[in-house]
């Protein structure tokens, strides 16, 4: 034990695991798809908050995430799927956030927009449509594009309950890149037809030096393989200070 400025400090104190997890869903879906991951984390003693984004613009989605962060009392692991990688990259500058987890997600640098990143590699498919300035996947192509390893009935429900993403959200740049100062973890889905695995492996995750877990899964890995997703989140939580 050392005395520093009148305060007693224990030398070689063990790391304190983060027990608060905030999850931000991606485009076209809402937070309900994360129920299986939520249940695993909750059973393992984590306090989990699911952000419900409006998907009406990057600023609005960041603000929704910041409101959830304001409710947390301890160190936080901030998780983002798909487009929400841009959201957590900016919102993750909050001092409560100790680690970032990117689940099949974009990982922009400061000044970069989601759409700018997506244009670096040829898109895995041409299913995305943006009539009236909102993106969605035609119902008939949703399962093959987004959730090929999810049951047909669940994929159909996802297709019929899509939450469309405002086109302007992809054009807005993040103002800060939290991953430059905080550890980041990434799940690379190798059978992804929404966000190119090459974009993530060869560009974003390599650039950020993220700790990558490769999973043979579709973009909907949080539904098809929730145990793996939860494991990565718990690893990030247990390695924070």
Residue 160 lies in a domain: yes
Mean pLDDT of the chain: 88
Residue 9 lies in a domain: no
Kindly report the CATH number assigned to the domain that includes residue 79: 3.40.50.1820
Predicted confidence at residue 97, as pLDDT, reads 98
Residue 225 lies in a domain: yes
Q: What is the pTM of this model?
A: 0.89
Residue in 51, 72, 79 with CA at minimum distance from that of residue 63: 51
Residue 61 lies in a domain: yes
**Whats the size of the chain, residue-wise?**
241
User: pLDDT tens digits, residue range 83-117?
Assistant: 999 999 999 999 999 999 999 999 999 999 988 88
Residue 222 lies in a domain: yes
| Domain extent for 23 | 16-238
Residue 11 lies in a domain: no
Spatial neighbors of 89 by CB under 8 A, at least 6 apart, are 80, 100, 106, 107, 108, 174, 176, 177, 178, 179
Average pLDDT over residues 145-169: 96
Contact 52, 64 (CB under 8 A): yes
* Number of CB atoms found within 10 A of residue 216's CB: 11
Q: What is the token pair recorded at 8?
A: 């007693």
Average pLDDT over residues 3-22: 55
Distance CA 38, CA 222 (A): 10
Q: Number of folded domains in the chain?
A: 1
Residue 10 lies in a domain: no
Spatial neighbors of 35 by CB under 8 A, at least 6 apart, are none
Buried b (16+ CB within 10 A) or exposed e, 79-109: bbbbbbbbbbbbbbbbebbbbbbbbbbbbbb
Residue 137 lies in a domain: yes
Predicted confidence at residue 202, as pLDDT, reads 62
């Amino acid at each position: 034990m050392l005395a520093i400025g009148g305060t007693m400090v224990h030398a070689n104190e063990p790391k304190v695991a983060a027990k608060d997890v905030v999850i931000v869903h991606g485009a076209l879906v809402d937070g309900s798809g994360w129920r299986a991951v939520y249940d695993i984390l909750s059973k393992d003693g984590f306090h989990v908050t699911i952000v419900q984004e409006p998907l009406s613009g990057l600023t609005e989605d960041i603000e929704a995430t910041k409101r959830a962060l304001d409710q947390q009392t301890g160190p936080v692991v901030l998780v983002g799927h798909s487009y929400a990688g841009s959201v957590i990259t900016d919102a993750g500058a909050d001092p409560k956030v100790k680690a970032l987890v990117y689940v099949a997600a974009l990982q922009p640098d400061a000044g970069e927009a989601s759409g700018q990143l997506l244009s670096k590699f040829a898109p895995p498919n041409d299913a995305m449509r943006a009539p009236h300035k909102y993106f969605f996947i035609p119902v008939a192509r949703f399962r093959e594009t987004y959730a090929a390893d999810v049951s047909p009935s669940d994929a159909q429900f996802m297709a019929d309950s899509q939450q469309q993403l405002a086109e302007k959200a992809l054009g807005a740049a993040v103002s800060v890149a939290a991953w430059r100062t905080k550890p980041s973890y990434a799940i690379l889905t190798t059978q992804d037809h929404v966000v190119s695995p090459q974009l993530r492996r060869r560009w974003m995750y390599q650039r950020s030096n993220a700790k990558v877990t490769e999973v043979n899964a579709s973009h909907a890995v949080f539904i098809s393989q929730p145990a793996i997703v939860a494991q990565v989140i718990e690893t990030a939580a247990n390695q924070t200070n």
